Chain A
Amino acid sequence: MFTADQVRELLGLIQPPFTALFLYGSHARGDADQMSDIDVLQVTPTHTAPYTVGQISVTCYTLDQLLRLARRGGLFARHIVEEALPLVDPQDVLGTLKSAYVSPINYDRVRKEVCNCAALLDVSEPEYLENAEGLGSLVSYLIRTFLYATAFDIGGRSFAMAHVLDLLGQHRAKIILSTVRLQRNFLAFVAARNLFEELTGTTCQRIEKSPEAFIVNASANNDLAMILGLRLLARGRPFTYDVLQEVEL
């Protein structure tokens, strides 16, 4: 657990504005190791891209987005509802999300959405090198999400990845996920992409000539592909509506 001083230090690194802040992931569960990111959910008044500050990985959602995810029984909503610890929450956003959360019958939809993101991983080595950080994180996120969904459907209850991998007997995945997290090189990425294809039974091939065109088409029925695609293009840069103020009109 964090001390009051550590929480204060963490709050100082968050980019305002926010209406609530939560700790989730391994630091919230208490099973973090030295390599673990500090996962923070920042509830923002307007759509904002995620960002990282050192080891702190900040995911930003508006309350409306979170409520939609909770009502759809999304995995991220379950993650928050089950394990988030409030750092700042004067309006009891967590209570609102818990009330709104609807548990799904199964995670078939999540697996399908993950599979439909496969085209985002269709990159050559030069393209990978232009955004190694983003693509490494993306393949890792897609594999982990697929594994969570599969584990929960056979009775898993923990978001601790070590438990999930044990439950599914995916010991090779443990090594590949660890490697792609530590090594930003194309071989590690390809090994993870191959694992993704093997697990999901999909092929990482994009029909469209550009990732932008894929994102447009996918956005018709796959919010996950749209959001992950835009985040990939953003390369960690924050975005707010104020961008229009800087456009020469």
Chain B
Amino acid sequence: MADKIAFIGDIHGDSDRLSALLGKLEGRSLVFLGDYVDHGPNSREVIDILLETADREPNPVFLLGNHEIGLLAFLSGRLSFLEYGWMGGLSTIRSYIAKADGDVRSELLAAMPNRHFEFLSKCKPFFETDEFVASHAGINPTCPQSRELTEIVLGRHTSLFENGHRPSKLVICGHYFQATQTPFFANGVVCLNTGCGTTEGPLTTLLYPEMTFLQV
């Protein structure tokens, strides 16, 4: 992995912003923080772009978001249509199926390319070095050693953003919507979910080790 890293926040189907961003990150290793799908209009195209990136870039890291888990759980029947729909999955389904007709789950399974399914299945729960830990939902401040999926991808650790708490190494996450559309960076925690694909907010990237931000 190169010395310089770009950590990329929640994308949520906004392929235009993703394309615009990737042209600006040459010479850096890429770490995507998850939530590539749902809400925004072009989830299928986002995964296509990420697959092209995987073919082109040396060892990009794709982390798992709760929405990727939601999509996989819907595809395998562990999450109902209703539950996935409430999560914002209808736009993802539409990005694969021009027109739904009957059994939506089967139609989505038939329409989704194998490469997409493999991509989703191979996303990693976290990426960690001596200096930082990157995962979609951060870490649980009351159980900081845990790397369980339910904690670091599906957890909701809002106390990460409270004063008085400082993790032993830098925590880089997405997931927690920053209503100001600016990234959170304080107390050794960085959060990059600025509403891309959900509220027309920008796609935010952390440039490491400079600790500066890039938004498109």
A216–B94 CB distance below 8 A: yes
* A5 located at the interface, meaning its Cβ lies under 8 Å from any Cβ of chain B in the complex: no
**How many residues belonging to A are interface residues under a CB distance threshold of 8 Å?**
26
A234–B82 CB distance below 8 A: yes
A208–B87 CB distance below 8 A: no
B102–A210 CB distance below 8 A: yes
Give the residues from 196 to 231 in chain A that come closer than 8 angstroms, CB to CB, to chain B. 208-210, 212-217, 219-220, 226, 230
* A233 located at the interface, meaning its Cβ lies under 8 Å from any Cβ of chain B in the complex: yes
Q: Considering only CB atoms, which chain A residue lies closest to B70 in the complex?
A: A244
Given A47, A212, A233, A249, which contacts B149 in the complex, CB threshold below 8 Å?
A249
* B100 located at the interface, meaning its Cβ lies under 8 Å from any Cβ of chain A in the complex: yes
A49–B97 CB distance below 8 A: no
Give the residues from 185 to 213 in chain B that come closer than 8 angstroms, CB to CB, to chain A. 199
A230–B150 CB distance below 8 A: no
Give the residues from 60 to 94 in chain B that come closer than 8 angstroms, CB to CB, to chain A. 66, 69-70, 73, 78-79, 81-83, 85-87, 90-91, 93-94
A49–B101 CB distance below 8 A: no
Q: Considering only CB atoms, which chain A residue lies closest to B84 in the complex?
A: A243
Given A64, A210, A241, A244, which contacts B104 in the complex, CB threshold below 8 Å?
A210
- Minimum CB–CB distance for B85 against chain A, Å: 5
A230–B87 CB distance below 8 A: no
Collect the chain B residues with CB atoms within 8 Å of residue A226's CB. Answer: 85, 90
Given contacts A213-B100, A220-B94, A244-B70, A233 and B78 within 8 Å (CB-CB): no
Given contacts A208-B101, A212-B81, A216-B104, A244 and B86 within 8 Å (CB-CB): no
* A239 located at the interface, meaning its Cβ lies under 8 Å from any Cβ of chain B in the complex: yes
B102–A239 CB distance below 8 A: no
Collect the chain A residues with CB atoms within 8 Å of residue B86's CB. Answer: 47, 49, 230, 234, 239
Given B66, B87, B102, B156, which contacts A213 in the complex, CB threshold below 8 Å?
B102
**Most B-side CB within 10 Å, residue of A49, A234, A249:** A249
Given contacts A216-B100, A239-B86, A245 and B94 within 8 Å (CB-CB): no
Give the complex CA separation of A212 and B69 in angstroms.
21
Collect the chain B residues with CB atoms within 8 Å of residue A215's CB. Answer: 85, 90
B66–A233 CB distance below 8 A: no
Q: Considering only CB atoms, which chain A residue lies closest to B87 in the complex?
A: A241
Give the complex CA separation of A210 and B199 in angstroms.
30
- Minimum CB–CB distance for A64 against chain B, Å: 6
* B99 located at the interface, meaning its Cβ lies under 8 Å from any Cβ of chain A in the complex: yes
Q: Write out, one digit per residue, whether chain A residues 55-78 have a CB within 8 A of any chain B CB (1) or not (0).
A: 000000000100000000000000
For the complex with contacts A230-B82, A233-B85, A239-B86, 4 further pairs of A-B residues with Cβ separation under 8 Å are A216-B97, A226-B90, A233-B82, A245-B154
**Can you list 24 A-B pairs with a CB-CB distance of less than 8 A?**
A64-B179, A64-B199, A208-B101, A210-B101, A210-B104, A212-B81, A213-B101, A213-B102, A213-B104, A214-B100, A215-B85, A216-B97, A217-B99, A226-B90, A230-B86, A233-B85, A241-B87, A243-B83, A244-B66, A244-B70, A244-B154, A245-B154, A247-B69, A249-B149
